[in-house]
Amino acid sequence: MRSLAPFDPKMLRELKGLVFDIQKFCVHDGPGIRTVVFFKGCNLRCSWCQNPESISPEPEIAYSRVQCIQCGVCLKACPHNAITSSPEGFVRHRSLCQKCMACVQVCSTQALRTVGQWMTVGEVIKKVAEDSIFYENSKGGVTFSGGEPTLQFNFLKAVLEESGRRHFHRALETNGYLLWKRLLQLLPQLELILFDLKHLHSRVHERFTGAGNRLIRMNLERLAKQSKVNWIPRVPLIPGLNDELKHLAHLGQWVKGLGAKEIHLLPYHRLGESKLGELGYPPENLIPGIRQPSEEEVEKAGQVLRQAGLTVIIGG
């Protein structure tokens, strides 16, 4: 086994990042068997967001009515009167909640839970390293996702470096909405970038994500021209928003022209809708009438991208 490069033990103990999930045995976020570390906090506000727990850069409280036994202990424990009783059950008021977590601490059924945990570099690496044997056997590794992981830049850079010391294959999933000089600093610590593309047209992109896509497109063009790091475009397929076949044809031609050989098509699913309710977000945060694409719609989208000369992977 190769020896590991010197490291800073103080950094491993003290530098912290906010993580809302670590999923093991994943096969859709890079090659082989992978561990995916989800960073909390995002700089876009996609109207179809399927991981709404990733949006806020702070720990949050989620409430599951199914697990709640209506004991009322949380109501008494909350010092800010942010929980009230109603005929439908208990209601948590986001505007009053100070995220002191007093209600979570007294909930015996875990109907109330904290979303987001501050972890040190060492704690994340320890969790990732538990499955190192699977990475070796499957040529897998670790993927850092979100939210947008580059928002926690110093923490991300540190965990990438520590993962590299252990010779793990490292992938980053990013929306590309960051300064190029920051992405440039991360490139030496990456083997793969999964680059999300929401829509080619900037006005439509801004309408549904809160930001235009000029910076995103410039970053992908620079990445394609200036870096040897492997990159794969990923496109969420949202009916009525970006699934027009003409739009997909232009998108496919554009990324093919940049050198892409493969593209991941990610059909919208409805799992995020229940999460919105648990976190207390209003349902209008989603596009009205949003739905999952049918198998036929997914196949048509895939055919258009294949015609551009790309290998299409459904689901990533």
Predicted local confidence at residue 3, as pLDDT: 44
Q: Could you tell me the sign of the dihedral formed by the alpha carbons of 183, 251, 37, 283, in that order?
A: positive
Q: Is the pTM of this model over 0.85?
A: yes
Predicted local confidence at residue 85, as pLDDT: 86
Phi, psi of 209 (to 5 degrees): -125, -10
Q: Name the one residue in this structure whose structure tokens are 């990445």.
A: 223
Cα distance between residue 164 and residue 153, in whole Å = 16
Cα distance between residue 159 and residue 7, in whole Å = 12
Cα distance between residue 178 and residue 229, in whole Å = 17
Predicted local confidence at residue 307, as pLDDT: 97
| CATH label, 60-113, candidates 3.40.50.1970, 3.30.70.100, 3.30.70.20, 1.10.1840.10 | 3.30.70.20
Q: Which amino acid is at 175?
A: N
Cite the residue boundaries of each domain of the chain with CATH code 3.30.70.20.
60-113
Provide the residue-wise pLDDT of the chain in tens; the chain has 316 residues.
344 545 567 666 789 999 999 999 999 999 999 999 999 999 999 999 989 999 999 999 999 988 999 999 999 999 999 999 887 778 888 889 999 999 999 999 999 999 999 999 999 999 999 999 999 999 999 999 999 999 999 999 999 999 999 999 999 999 999 999 999 999 999 999 999 999 999 999 999 999 999 999 999 999 999 989 999 999 999 999 999 999 999 999 999 999 999 999 999 988 778 888 888 887 767 777 789 999 999 999 999 999 999 999 998 7
Please name the CATH architecture into which domain 16-57+116-314 falls: Alpha-Beta Barrel (3.20)
Predicted local confidence at residue 2, as pLDDT: 43
Cite the residue boundaries of each domain of the chain with CATH code 3.20.20.70.
16-57+116-314
First to last CA, the chain: 32
Phi, psi of 263 (to 5 degrees): -140, 140
Cβ atoms 71, 294 nearer than 8 A: no
